[in-house]
Amino acid sequence: MKNRKEDQFDRILKRTLDSQADHVRVSPGLKYQIRQSINESEKEKTVMKIGKKQKWAVAVAAVLILGSITVAAAGKVTGYRSHSRSDVQQIHSYADVAEVEEMVRYPLKAVETFANGYALKEGHIANSEAVDSEGNTVDAFQQVYMDYEKDGTVVTLVEEQVKDYKKTDPTLPNSTLIECGDITLTYNADPYKFVPPDYEPTDEEKEAMAAKELYISYGADEITETEYHFLSWEQDNIRYLFMCYGKEAPGAEELTEMARELIEMKE
């Protein structure tokens, strides 16, 4: 049986996917397919028997992947599948990063401990596939997930190669662009409110929801609120993304400084 946090995560995942579908520069047909897939999954009450870390992997992949589809796909790549296991950790310490780099065959950037105290805890590889409209695999690629922790708060770092058919749109709604030297960072802070089934949003909340400034998810036992933080950028054909949530999670300024440490790393 899932606990309340897991139920909340499932709803956040659905909302994340749904909201990202609005932010993607794709054809109306592909956007409709994305929404239909999400809605059908919700209707059927499908429960994925996976652990919390796997759900993080799915959510991050959703943000990276859905936020990366462009018209360049031209009828070829229409979706993605991502697989990872929470019980298989290839990274247990900073010393393991070099070995994982050899496994994925693209350069990784990592530190043992960031200046703000977030220390590398563990990490793993996720195997993903780009598929066509019939579900056939067009390309296979890997993403690396690294969890950094401080005082119980986790910041997840994701790294993957940029593909020709996966180019980000730098003008996503509700995004803040931050210049870091010659690199542009994209920051998003998405507020989520979990409410009981009979909750009635205020007029102000309805306006915020319409503007994608608030996401309300029904089914909770009591009203709770949290905020998800995302910071992404590209450098030397690698895409990086930080993701975290909660009251103690780093915001734009702190995540930017963490990104700067990686950006300024020497090869």
pTM more than 0.85: no
Q: Is the pLDDT confidence value at 52 over 60? A: no
The 3-state DSSP class for residue 55 equals helix
Partner residues linked to 146 by β-bridges: 123, 157
Mean pLDDT is lowest, of 40-49, 93-102, 258-267, for 40-49
pLDDT value of residue 132: 75
Question: What is the three-class DSSP state of 179?
Answer: strand
Smallest CA-to-CA distance from 68 within 251, 189, 234, 196 is with: 234
Q: What is the pLDDT of residues 187-202, one digit of tens each?
A: 988 888 888 889 999 9
Rounded CA gap, 260 and 161, in Å?
A: 19
pLDDT digits (tens, 9 = 90+) for 74-117: 447 666 666 665 566 789 999 999 999 999 999 999 999 999 99
Domain assignment of residue 252, given as a range: 4-263
Please count the other Cβ atoms lying within 10 Å of the Cβ belonging to residue 218: 12
Q: How far is it, in rounded angstroms, from Cα 31 to Cα 38?
A: 11
Return the minimum-mean-pLDDT range out of 71-75, 166-170, 236-240.
Answer: 71-75
Maximum pairwise Cα distance, the chain: 55
Q: What is the tally of structural domains in the chain? A: 1
